[in-house]
Chains A and B, each alone.
Chain A
Amino acid sequence: MNGWNLAAAVLLGAGGTAALWGVTTGPPARRVIAQNMTTSAVCPALLLLSQGYGRPAYVDLALLLALLGPVGTLVFARLLSDDLSDGPPSARVLTWTAAGAGAAVVLAVCVAVGPGRALVKLLVTGALLIGGNIIASRALADGFQGVRGG
């Protein structure tokens, strides 16, 4: 077990447990935020795992999750807009914490990888992860007020 895997285990365990708790309890708005946080916890964990196993090929998983995770959250934001409109959730602190943690992980992995094609993929992943996370929170807060027809 190296440090990378240990960090991944901690991130997965703590983030996963917290997200599971959030996703199963409380009002709908909080659940959707927790669903969004799943991406923020698991995606960095996948990056750490790829480094820990010494397999650059595993980065594809993190890339795909960074891409599709926010899309999944947007689905809920769009189709649950009726339930969410009661209390627009605001999770600014949580969002920025998650974004910061994601950035830190991406940075650490980038430093370990060094310049090259793999670095580009990592940076794209990081940008998608952080951007998607913030946009998804934004969409939950005020993205789909009063969507009825489409």
Chain B
Amino acid sequence: MHVLPYLVAVHLFLTGCYGLATSRNLIHAVGCLAVCQSATYVLLLAVGYRDGGTAPVFSDIRPGSRPVVDPVVQALTLTDIVVGATVTALLLALVLQIAKRHGTVDPDELRELRG
């Protein structure tokens, strides 16, 4: 249990990389990139967790009544999620243009830039 969340993050990152490298469809590759990124969410939040803690939100509990987890990593993860969504959108836009100009979304068939 001490390292399981970290190992899951590592697993997510490497699985995503494997998918990216072996992908035969660029839309699929963008999805794999999203999997890679979810590794960073899991790692960040796992780092900030505190046993027995609760969310650092004091609208329904009295400050100081319960231990709270780290709010900073949550803010970082929020930023990260926004980044992930926008990058996904931008890359998908590029994939659409590739489909138009090359007539394929299979990276094995893109033969314009070599050497």
Task: Write the chain A residue with the least CB distance to B57.
Answer: A57
Within 8 A of B (CB), among A47-63: 53-58
Q: Is B54 an interface residue (CB 8 A)?
A: yes
**Bound Cα distance from A11 to B60, whole angstroms:** 26
**Bound Cα distance from A58 to B60, whole angstroms:** 10
Within 8 A of A (CB), among B61-87: 61
**Minimum CB–CB distance for B78 against chain A, Å:** 14
Provide the A29-45 mask, 1 if CB < 8 A to any CB of B, else 0: 00000000000000000
Task: Write the chain A residue with the least CB distance to B58.
Answer: A57
**Bound Cα distance from A54 to B55, whole angstroms:** 11
Residues of A within 8 A of B59 (CB): 57
Tell me what chain B mostly uses at the interface: helix, strand, loop, or mixed: loop
Task: Write the chain A residue with the least CB distance to B59.
Answer: A57
**Minimum CB–CB distance for B2 against chain A, Å:** 19
**Minimum CB–CB distance for A99 against chain B, Å:** 29
Residues of A within 8 A of B55 (CB): 55, 57-58
**Bound Cα distance from A53 to B60, whole angstroms:** 12
Given contacts A53-B54, A55-B54, A56-B60, 10 further A-B contacts (CB under 8 A): A54-B61, A55-B55, A55-B57, A55-B60, A55-B61, A57-B55, A57-B57, A57-B59, A57-B60, A58-B55
Residues of A within 8 A of B57 (CB): 55, 57
Residues of B within 8 A of A55 (CB): 54-55, 57, 60-61
Residues of B within 8 A of A58 (CB): 55
Task: Write the chain A residue with the least CB distance to B55.
Answer: A55
Residues of B within 8 A of A57 (CB): 55, 57, 59-60
**Bound Cα distance from A119 to B103, whole angstroms:** 55
- Ordered by A's residue number, 13 sampled pairs between the chains whose C-beta atoms are within 8 Å are A53-B54, A54-B61, A55-B54, A55-B55, A55-B57, A55-B60, A55-B61, A56-B60, A57-B55, A57-B57, A57-B59, A57-B60, A58-B55
Within 8 A of A (CB), among B35-72: 54-55, 57, 59-61
